[in-house]
Structure 1
Amino acid sequence: MKQLSAALLVFSTVFSAFQPSFGTSSSSGHGKVPKLSPAGRKALDDLVANTVKSNRLPGFVLAVSNADEQLYANAGGNKTYGDPTSAPATTDSVFWLASMTKLLASISVLQLIEQGKFNFDTPVSKFFPEFNNVVLLHNFTDPASTFEPVKKPITIWHLLTHTSGLSYYIGPPQPSYVLSEPYLHKYAEGEGHQKFFELLKFGFPGIPVVSQPGSAFTYGHSTSVLGLVVEKVTGQSLEAYSKKYIFSRVGVNTSYYLTEDTNSRLIDLHFRNPDGSVTGWEDRARLIQRYPDQVRVPLGGAGAYGTLPDYLTILRHLLQIEAGRNVRNAILKRKTVQELFQPQLKSEVAAGLEDSLEFTSPNLDHEDPNWSTAFAVTTKDLKGGRRKGSGFWAGFAGTWYIIDPKAGISLVFGSQVVPPIDPITAEVVEEAERIVYANLVY
């Protein structure tokens, strides 16, 4: 960890207009940039058409890229399920990215590490004194649980690798579509970091964790705290910082805010009933603060919106950097990006990740999965799919991505249907992955 930190301290990115300049190096182990065969394109078209015909999903988008260009993009369904008069989904439709936001917020933190603003071992209490008082719960489902002080401070490294012990699941068990309270609060004028941390205490005298920092993978609020660190260090909102140093450099319109225009293109959120039918969201549970409300706390763990081809553009940008391309306006240094695809956790620490993968990839056999500094990584090839060292993750509302530097491929898919992770969206994206890998030509 300390060697990785030292390797990232020098920051020399040139700020100029985004004009990728492609060299002869390839992002693929085959020595050439992969293409998608005509048979592969037809198979993906058939998958989209059959998904529409089955009437099992609201509006959805599927897109694939190599390190040079977008190879495929298609859409199906409607903005509102069951309403053929609503706008059809297009590749310009907007999605709530939910936990796919975590990659974006992690990139911003890695940029600041490259600049030497702090390092992986920096305690979070340096920025927020609330982290001077962190308590380990003996029973995290009990609001009256006994607790004890943690043995070590939570660091930036713990937040990036989800080993802080911060959990989404503190308190009595809730349905999987109910978000954690720090995400649900409607932040008023003057509320912000202090209110977020007050809610993060869940009624305990200190910020509670469910495992000792560094001891276990625990999915939770770590990345949202990272977003607040970015705001504290830079003096800018996470939205303003990300727009200047990530989104505008890559040339995308991803944002932590919805506008009248993007909200009009947002696929409606839907609900999958136990019998498999799809209905509207119908306010069955609260959601994060969004348009037309003013968003006062951009959530680095769940708060971004954008089109899926735009997200794919960010993935393609990372593939270019990883491959050693001469990418102008690169958002990260090559060494940093290469580390994104390296497992960072000991096997006993990463064990908790397998539980999370039951939700994010229910039908895939991930053997010994691990986590890097931004996303889950495969440690072995998946049969008929992504290679060892691929990054991947998904979002609460039904979005998914894969970024595979060895094959030189990235893929995004998404609909907007909860509870997570919807089995039909999983079925479609897993079939799309099989089709793509079976039809790559070099």
Structure 2
Amino acid sequence: MVKISAAGKKALDDLIAQFQAEKKLPGFGIVVTSVDRELYASAGGFRVHDDPTSGPVTPDSLYWICSMAKLITALACLVLIEQGKLNFDDPVTKYLPQFKDPVVLEGLVATPTPKPRPAQGVPTILHLLSHSSGSTYFAKQREPVYSLGKGYTFEQTGGREQAQDEFLEHIKEGYSGIPLAADPGTSFSYGYSSDILGIIIARVAGQSLADFCEQYIFEPIGIKTTFRLTPELIAKLVELSFRNEDGSISRFEDQIQLIQRYPKEVLLDLGGIGGYSTFPDYATLLRHLLRIEAGKDVPHPILKQETVKTLFKPQLTEAGAAALAAVIPRWDPNVARAGVNWSTGLALTTSDLPGKRKANSAFWFGWAGTLYVIDPTTGIAIVAGSQIIPTFDRGVVEMFEKVEGIIYANLEDD
């Protein structure tokens, strides 16, 4: 077993104190777990930026984890695959006829007016899991660029299936078919793959994505992670903040439109962005996966060991890995240089990062300032971050880099 040394814990405590004193971030938290137990949990700042009366952020504070929900949706899909209700090679058209005639947008990056052409093939379930389906967030240019697309911000009305159909219509962005950045299976493209997968899960399971995850993931593990806010959860939620162009931080004041959430009824559980969790609960999920991967005894395992191991095996083509590497430098250029890929649910580093995570560690981030790393070789996972936009906030990136460095420099045998 590993633990963080006393010196390491002090260094983390000092880092939190520094970030609070220098007001580098609004409310934030840090949680570290080993394969066996939680090693560290602390937090700093206030639930509402610069408002002490809102109460301090604590390890039990709730965060909108945004794209960290993508892992949860992938796990739900893998559960259905183990149940024999889905297959990796199932075409998406088997469940969603809207994907019958997708189009690839030629020149998407180079020009504001890309030319659509018929896609060669249709995405499969594995393509959705590995983000090689071609689905993209950027079929149409948005202003500002970090704002959320209409697929996330449209007003959900009617029933659950109507909201699903409306989502699929919105992500067409006016094209004749679902727009893709590349032919399915040929590259990596960051987009709505997890949300599409969430709709398929709901239709195959005959229940909402939220209810399915509660039954097969959250309840067995014993965590309160959710896709649905309540008045009680709202009271624990760390409020969003905004990083101004001059580097100062202010409260979020509807600078951009967000996803639909309480008190409005959520009819469409967005598998790519709609999750909420405390950091200890998300770390518990990662620890659950670490224990299964390591072959340790796990009460109520959500997946088999052979399935969990696929989470740490690359699935992208060489071109796909290069496309993913082009996205990563906004977070950490060192990660991109080390080599990256994507598995059945996680981004992977393909070589060691000196003084940090080992090869085949998994990682990702949330749009509103949350990040995680899960390292099966070392047997630890880190969850940390804040609630601040625009995404890839420099304060969040700085904090996570320092946290990871401190932890790996201060691990010792227990």
TM-score norm. by structure 2 comes to 0.96
1:173 offset after TM fit, Å? 4.2
RMSD: 1.3
Distance in 1, Cα, partners of 2:318 & 2:105 = 23
1:140 offset after TM fit, Å? 3.5
Partner of 2:215: 244
1:349 offset after TM fit, Å? 2.1
Residue 397 (structure 1) aligned to one of 355, 363, 368: 368
Partner of 1:298: 269
Partner of 1:116: 84
Partner of 1:84: 52
Partner of 1:283: 254
Distance in 2, Cα, partners of 1:287 & 1:195 = 17
What amino acid does structure 2 have at the position aligned with 1:211?
A
What SS is found at the alignment partner of 1:319?
helix
1:130 equivalent in alignment to 2:130:
no
Partner of 2:72: 104
Q: 1:269 to 1:363 in 2, by over 3 A?
A: farther
Distance in 2, Cα, partners of 1:215 & 1:303 = 27
What SS is found at the alignment partner of 1:412?
strand
TM-score norm. by structure 1 comes to 0.90
Residue 174 (structure 1) aligned to one of 123, 139, 143: 143
Partner of 1:195: 166
Q: Which runs of 5+ in 1 are unaligned?
A: 1-32
1:37 equivalent in alignment to 2:8:
no
Q: Which runs of 5+ in 2 are unaligned?
A: none
Partner of 1:10: none
1:235 equivalent in alignment to 2:203:
no
What SS is found at the alignment partner of 2:76?
helix
Which range moved further: 82-91 or 226-235? 82-91
Aligned length: 410
What SS is found at the alignment partner of 1:49?
helix
What SS is found at the alignment partner of 1:355?
helix
Distance in 2, Cα, partners of 1:145 & 1:366 = 30
| Paired residues of 1:341 and 1:389 also in contact (CA < 8 A) | yes
Distance in 2, Cα, partners of 1:123 & 1:210 = 18
Distance in 1, Cα, partners of 2:327 & 2:272 = 15
Partner of 1:151: 120
| Paired residues of 1:120 and 1:157 also in contact (CA < 8 A) | yes
1:53 offset after TM fit, Å? 0.8
Q: Deviations over 1:384-432 (max 9, x none)?
A: 1000010000000000000000001000002000011111111011100
| Paired residues of 1:366 and 1:382 also in contact (CA < 8 A) | no
| Paired residues of 1:78 and 1:88 also in contact (CA < 8 A) | yes
Q: Deviations over 1:137-170 (max 9, x none)?
A: 2243778643221111111111111111110011
1:328 offset after TM fit, Å? 2.2
Residue 222 (structure 1) aligned to one of 152, 173, 193: 193
Residue 298 (structure 2) aligned to one of 321, 327, 330: 327
What amino acid does structure 2 have at the position aligned with 1:370?
N
Q: Deviations over 1:213-265 (max 9, x none)?
A: 11110000001101001001000000000000000011010110110011111
Which range moved further: 37-46 or 355-364? 355-364
1:414 equivalent in alignment to 2:346:
no
Partner of 1:441: 412
